[in-house]
A and B are shown apart, each in its own frame.
Chain A
Amino acid sequence: MTSESKVETLVTKDMEERKGVWGDEKVAPPVSESDIRKWAIASYWPDKPPAIFWDENYAKGTRWAGLIAPNDFNPFAWPIDRPPAAPGRATAGGAGVGTRGMNGGQVETFGVPMRPGDVITSRTRLKDWNERTTRLGLTLFTNTETEWRNQKGEHVKTRISTGIRY
């Protein structure tokens, strides 16, 4: 266990080197009608989801001229390859300063909606961080920026997610 009194910062040299540097792009499998429908059913459960997410005939008559996905639809779910979790990753049940972590939240800015057949490309970078002493002790708030574009290069969304480590 890490000694809580000796830790002066949770910022690592690796973080300093990665700050602002975009990582490799990831490409999701094509968005399917069925994936959108299942996502909408699950997220609206037990109510019926809006027809714009599952009824093609209805959707054709809207400004979108076809089905669209809910804003939070995730085409990157269910990857074939699953890299192991990074060693030392902070968790809710961690023991010792810097090993405990939680999801602080996110801000998403949306562009064009996702549609069946879209192929979404993602890239991510460590944006910035803020370290201060809170009621949890020494706490690091890390902001990660993720950008999604579709096969036409159109902006789908930008997410700034905040991870908390303490």
Chain B
Amino acid sequence: MAVNVYFEDVNVGDALPAWSRQTDFMHWNRYAAVNDEFVYIHMDDEAGKAALNEQGAFGMGNLRYTYILNALRDWIGDEAEIRECGVQFRAINQKNDILTVQGKVTDKKVEDGENRVYLDINVMNQNGDGTCPAHAVLVLPNRG
């Protein structure tokens, strides 16, 4: 996937291809293992409940941020760049949630010599709740 999308082919209002994961301890533990993020609230139901989440342990905000970056990378391919990405962690990622990264192009312009594409993004759960409003700025190549 060297180049998936060119600057000329993107229009305001275009949707980011949806990117989903059903998350549980298998995903959280793998992420903890590489990011050294072993925190009891992400590992142990009792600790999660003690942190006032009735359902127990919950997922890392950083992993949802990773999912956003993955969705962007899968869309734009290897030759393009993610120049900026920002997230707000607004709701909890419960065990077995099906998280879907959704996004829409809000602007595109040539700026500082770069073909920049702006997106509003959110990570939705299976109930349709936005858990993680976000934004991104991408730099895409020209066609030809």
- Residues on A facing B (Cβ under 8 Å): 35, 38-39, 41-46, 50, 52, 61-64, 70-72, 74, 77-79, 91-93, 102-110, 162
Binds A, one of B8-16, B66-74, B99-107, B109-117: B66-74
For A41, the chain B residues whose CB sits under 8 A away are: 30
Report the bound CA distance from A103 to B78 in whole Å.
30
Interface size class of B (residues with CB under 8 A): 35 or more
For A52, the chain B residues whose CB sits under 8 A away are: 78
The minimal Cβ–Cβ distance linking A56 to chain B, given in whole angstroms, is 13
Could you tell me if A39 and B34 are in contact, using CB atoms closer than 8 angstroms? yes
Could you tell me if A44 and B70 are in contact, using CB atoms closer than 8 angstroms? yes
Report the bound CA distance from A60 to B66 in whole Å.
25
Q: Which of B26, B34, B85 has the most CB of A within 10 A?
A: B34
Report the bound CA distance from A77 to B38 in whole Å.
11
17 cross-chain CB contacts under 8 A: A38-B34, A39-B35, A43-B63, A45-B27, A46-B26, A50-B74, A50-B78, A52-B78, A61-B2, A62-B78, A62-B79, A78-B36, A105-B88, A105-B89, A105-B132, A107-B86, A110-B84
Report the bound CA distance from A65 to B1 in whole Å.
15
Could you tell me if A103 and B74 are in contact, using CB atoms closer than 8 angstroms? no
By beta carbon, the residue of chain A nearest B74 is A50
Q: Is B62 an interface position by the 8 A CB rule?
A: yes
Q: Is B51 an interface position by the 8 A CB rule?
A: yes
For B47, the chain A residues whose CB sits under 8 A away are: 93
